[in-house]
């Protein structure tokens, strides 16, 4: 069975193409991701890794091909937390204002996520008061707050020291055990090996090999 023919895939990308001016960023990328699977996109800067994530999340409009995906959450490389909001308020923002959940329910779930990620004691901290690892975990909790079956992570180890990278790899494996699929971009070979991810290597906007 080919990769794109997997039954029950949470994500299927077929012949994805994207151009910026005369430059071809993606040149016919096809892949699929099953429930509970961790997939890492690897390749040199400019190979199209982040662009694929942005197309999946609907942040980029492709010029050709299709993306079939369920609801997804995205963890950006530099976290993109709202600086004037506490960790708790960053996490509850979307459930309250997009999901129309009440404050009590939203905060209960946010606290559960913070506890699961090991930073329950930081719920009232502002982003500037968080370490890089703590901010990363708040960003993950925020992405999970809407209960997406698919989680996208762009270079999640960019601001982490080796110890925190190992902790994040453990967290990612745990997230996948409940059937959630993860698509990650990374340059970090050691981190990717620790996650147990299926690796897809990109070069010049295509899947290599």
CATH number at residue 194: 3.40.50.300
Q: What angle do CA 169, 172, 177 make, to 5 degrees?
A: 130
Same domain for 154 and 58: yes
pLDDT on residue 167? 85
Residue 2 has pLDDT above 60, yes or no: no
Residue 79 has pLDDT above 80, yes or no: no
Dihedral in degrees, nearest 10, Cα atoms 68, 70, 75, 80:
90
Residue 188 lies in a domain: yes
Strand partners, 199: 40
Residue 6 confidence class, pLDDT cut points 50, 70, 90: low
Same domain for 191 and 94: no
Residue 78 lies in a domain: no
Residue 161 has pLDDT above 90, yes or no: no
Average pLDDT over residues 181-187: 95
Same domain for 168 and 121: no
The total of other beta-carbon atoms located within 10 Å of residue 155's CB is: 18
Task: Report the domain count for the chain.
Answer: 2
pLDDT on residue 19? 94
* Structural domain boundaries, residue 159: 3-70+149-207
Average pLDDT over residues 116-141: 90
Percentage of the chain surpassing pLDDT 90?
67
End-to-end CA distance of the chain: 18
Predicted TM-score (pTM) of this structure: 0.87
Residue 180 lies in a domain: yes
pLDDT on residue 209? 64
Residue 107 lies in a domain: yes
Average pLDDT over residues 7-25: 91
């Amino acid at each position: 069975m080919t990769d794109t023919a997997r039954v029950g895939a949470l994500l299927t990308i077929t012949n994805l193409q994207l151009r910026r001016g005369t430059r071809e960023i993606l040149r016919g990328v096809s892949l699929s991701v099953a429930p509970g699977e961790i997939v890492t996109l690897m390749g040199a800067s400019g190979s199209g890794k982040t662009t694929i994530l942005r197309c999946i999340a609907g942040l980029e409009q492709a010029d050709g091909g299709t993306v079939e995906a369920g609801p997804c959450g995205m963890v950006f490389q530099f976290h993109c937390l709202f600086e004037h909001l506490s960790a708790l308020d960053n996490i509850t923002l979307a459930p309250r204002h997009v999901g129309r959940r009440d404050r009590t329910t939203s905060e209960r779930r946010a606290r559960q996520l913070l506890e699961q990620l090991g930073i329950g004691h930081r719920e009232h901290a502002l982003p500037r008061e968080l370490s890089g690892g703590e901010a990363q975990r708040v960003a993950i909790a925020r992405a999970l707050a809407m209960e997406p079956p698919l989680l996208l992570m762009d270079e999640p180890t960019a601001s982490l020291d080796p110890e925190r990278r190992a902790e994040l790899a453990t967290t990612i494996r745990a997230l996948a055990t409940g059937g959630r699929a993860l698509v990650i971009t990374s340059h970090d070979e050691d981190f990717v090996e620790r996650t147990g991810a299926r690796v897809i290597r990109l070069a010049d906007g295509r899947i290599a090999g």
